[in-house]
Amino acid sequence: MAEVMTETEPETTWSSVRYNFYSDTQTKPTRAMREAVLEAEVGDEQLFADPTTLRLERRVAELLGKEAAVFMPSGTMCNEIAIKVHTDPSDEVICERSSHIVGYESGGPAMLSGVMLYTLDGDRGRFSAEQVRTAIRPAARYMPRSRLVSVEQTANLAGGSIWPVELLDEVAEVAHQAGLSTHMDGARLMNAAVAAGVPAARFARDMDSVWIDLTKGLGASVGAVLAGGGDFIEQAWRWKQQWGGAMRQSGILAAMGLYALDHHVDRLAEDHVRAARIGEALAGMPGVAEVVPVETNIVVFRTVEGFPGGPGLAEAAAEHGAAISVRDERSCRIVTHLDVDDRDVDVLLEVMASLLG
Ligand SMILES: Cc1ncc(COP(=O)(O)O)c(C=O)c1O
């Protein structure tokens, strides 16, 4: 995804942003969340002596219906460690083409686990059990071994689409029958749970590992929690230690996560309503060719030739103080989150109408 603004962009570019629809990763911790940190009991996390982190891990394990969980610095680390635990070098991981592990983890699966990625073209980020069946390689001396199926809930770059429970069940069944493990990148699993009215644990039921991000819709500033069976988490801990992810008084961070789980889950519904409103308004603009059906907090849309598109549109929006991200030469992505309200949506839509109307 060619982003117009990147982490290397001068600070002034970001500081001119007044309406930030670039990503739900842009949220800043609220005052109440910061206050929760002041009260956090802390200890040495590497020695399992940080009570707040332990509380967060137990809470997320329960939320996801798993035996155990481990606090990680980031979602990327959750994905990379899960792949490492589930596979051996030269194995193959089946996943969707637009998934984060393919395009946005700096080639980590190849470097850290020595695995190959077998990418499927999904329907808005979701693939079928039949596609998995076809992708699983027969046992042959000269072929890589298919070892893991990885899904992304919601499918971010495909427009925040939700994997329905039945589809997940079918995909997991095919994987497990063939002896493969299953992993869910749940960066936005709580968005799916709120939008679909399905408990996160039900979505994750047949996943051997699953994680949630605390820094996206939930609005914390650092951290993700990886969950799975006791044995899986024990192995995950070993890689976390080896890769430098073990922490010390991490309760300072975990307290934000606990606060987010208490206060920022139900409100995701507001983000979804705002995203739906944006999608509907865009669909009515002459310069918009297609809006991917909006299911959660992400709006991906393509513009008509002759109107600004992709990078040109994001640049023009930025001149009005609105940040959106670029999907490709003609498409952009708009994301709603804790730090944008109805008034911000009004302004964004005015800007979009002026560019695409
Ligand atoms: C679907 C998905 N997976 C993984 C990640 C990585 O999460 P983190 O930024 O916490 O490393 C992201 C981040 O944007 C994401 O969107």
CATH number, residue 352: 3.90.1150.10
Nearest alpha carbon to residue 43 among 55, 25, 34: 55
Q: Is the CB of 212 under 6 A from ligand 1?
A: no
**107 and 243 inside one domain:** yes
Q: In angstroms, what is the span from residue 219 Cα to ligand 1's centroid?
A: 13
Residue 35 neighbours by CB distance under 10 Å: 12
Contact present, 164 and 189 (Cβ < 8 Å): no
Please report which confidence band the pLDDT of residue 1 belongs to, taking 50, 70 and 90 as the band edges.
very low
Question: Can you give the pLDDT at residue 330?
Answer: 96
Residues 164, 197, single domain; the answer is yes
Task: Round the average pLDDT of the chain to a whole number and report it.
Answer: 96
Q: Give the tens place of pLDDT for each residue, 57-99.
A: 999 999 999 999 999 999 999 999 999 999 999 999 999 999 9
pTM: 0.96
CA 44, 50, 56, 62 torsion-angle sign:
positive
Determine if residue 197 is left, alpha or beta; phi over 0 gives left, psi from -120 to 50 gives alpha, anything else beta: left
pLDDT grade, residue 2 (50/70/90)? very low
Domain boundary at 263, 281, 298, which? Answer: 263
Report, as an integer, the average pLDDT of 296-316.
97
Q: How confident is the model at residue 259 (pLDDT cuts 50, 70, 90)?
A: very high
Q: How many A from CA of 286 to the centre of ligand 1?
A: 33
State whether 259 and 273 are in the same domain. no
Q: Mark whether 59 and 195 lie in a shared domain.
A: yes
Q: How does DSSP assign 186-232, residue by residue? A: ETTHHHHHHHHT--HHHHTTT-SEEEEESSSTT--SS-EEEEE-HHH
Ligand 1 atom closest to the CA of 223, numbered from 1? 10
Tally DSSP H helices, then E strands, for the chain: 15, 13
Tell me, using a 6 A CB cutoff, whether residue 224 lines ligand 1: yes
Ligand 1 contacts CB of residue 245 (under 6 A): no
Work out the pLDDT band at 7, boundaries 50, 70, 90. very low
Q: Which atom of ligand 1 is nearest to the CA of 224?
A: 10
How much is the pLDDT for 143? 97
Q: How far is the CA of 354 from the centre of ligand 1 (A)?
A: 32
| CA–centroid distance, residue 284 to ligand 1 (Å) | 31
User: What's the 212 CA to ligand 1 centre distance in angstroms?
Assistant: 10
Mean pLDDT of all residues in 129-143: 97
Residue of 104, 112, 256 to mutate, ligand 1, most atoms within 8 A of C-beta: 104
Q: Residue 208 pLDDT > 50, yes or no?
A: yes
Least confident of 1-10, 101-110, 112-121: 1-10
Report pLDDT digits (tens) over 31-54.
999 999 999 999 999 999 999 999
Tens-digit pLDDT profile for residues 331-342: 999 999 999 999
Is residue 35 in some structural domain? no
Q: 75 CA to middle of ligand 1, Å?
A: 5
Q: Which structural domain range is residue 61 located in?
A: 40-263
- How many angstroms is it from 220 CA to the middle of ligand 1? 13
Residue 296 in contact with ligand 1 by CB distance below 6 A? no
Q: Is the CB of 185 under 6 A from ligand 1?
A: yes
Last residue of one domain, picked from the residues 263, 289, 322:
263
Place of tokens 């040495």: 44
Same domain, 153 and 71: yes
10 pLDDT higher than 90: no
The answer to whether residues 147 and 295 belong to one domain is no
292 and 234 within one domain: no
Alpha helices in the chain (DSSP H): 11-15, 31-38, 51-63, 75-86, 100-103, 108, 129-135, 165-177, 189-196, 200-203, 230-242, 251-263, 268-283, 311-319, 342-356
Distance from C-alpha of 219 to C-alpha of 254, rounded to nearest angstrom: 12
- Based on the structure, what is the number of domains in the chain? 2
Residue 2 lies in a domain: no
Angle at 235 between CA 65 and CA 48, to 5 degrees: 75
Q: What is the mean pLDDT of residues 263-271?
A: 98
- Band of residue 179 on the pLDDT scale cut at 50, 70, 90: very high
Identify the pLDDT of residue 292.
98
Residue 347 burial (CB < 10 Å; 0-12/13-18/19+)? middle
| Index of the ligand 1 atom closest to the CA of residue 156 | 1
3-state class (DSSP) for residue 64? coil
In angstroms, what is the span from residue 111 Cα to ligand 1's centroid? 18
Q: Distance, CA 110 to ligand 1 centroid (Å)? A: 18
- Between the CA of 9 and the centroid of ligand 1 the distance, in Å, is 20
- Of the candidates 239, 263, 287, which is a domain's last residue? 263
- pLDDT grade for 13, boundaries at 50, 70 and 90: confident
Residue 280 is predicted with a pLDDT of 98
Sheet holding 224-228, edge to edge: 68-72, 224-228, 209-213, 181-186, 146-152, 92-96, 116-120
Q: Are residues 58 and 199 in the same domain?
A: yes
CB 221 near ligand 1, within 6 Å:
no
100 CA to centre of ligand 1 in angstroms: 7
Atom of ligand 1 nearest to the CA of 155: 1
Q: Is 100 in the pocket of ligand 1 (CB under 6 A)?
A: yes
Dist CA 253 CA 267 (whole Å): 21
Q: Are 78 and 226 in contact (CB under 8 A)?
A: yes
Confidence bin at 4 (pLDDT 50/70/90) = very low
For ligand 1, atom 8, name the residue with the nearest CA.
75
Tell me which of 10-24, 213-227, 242-256 is least confident. Answer: 10-24
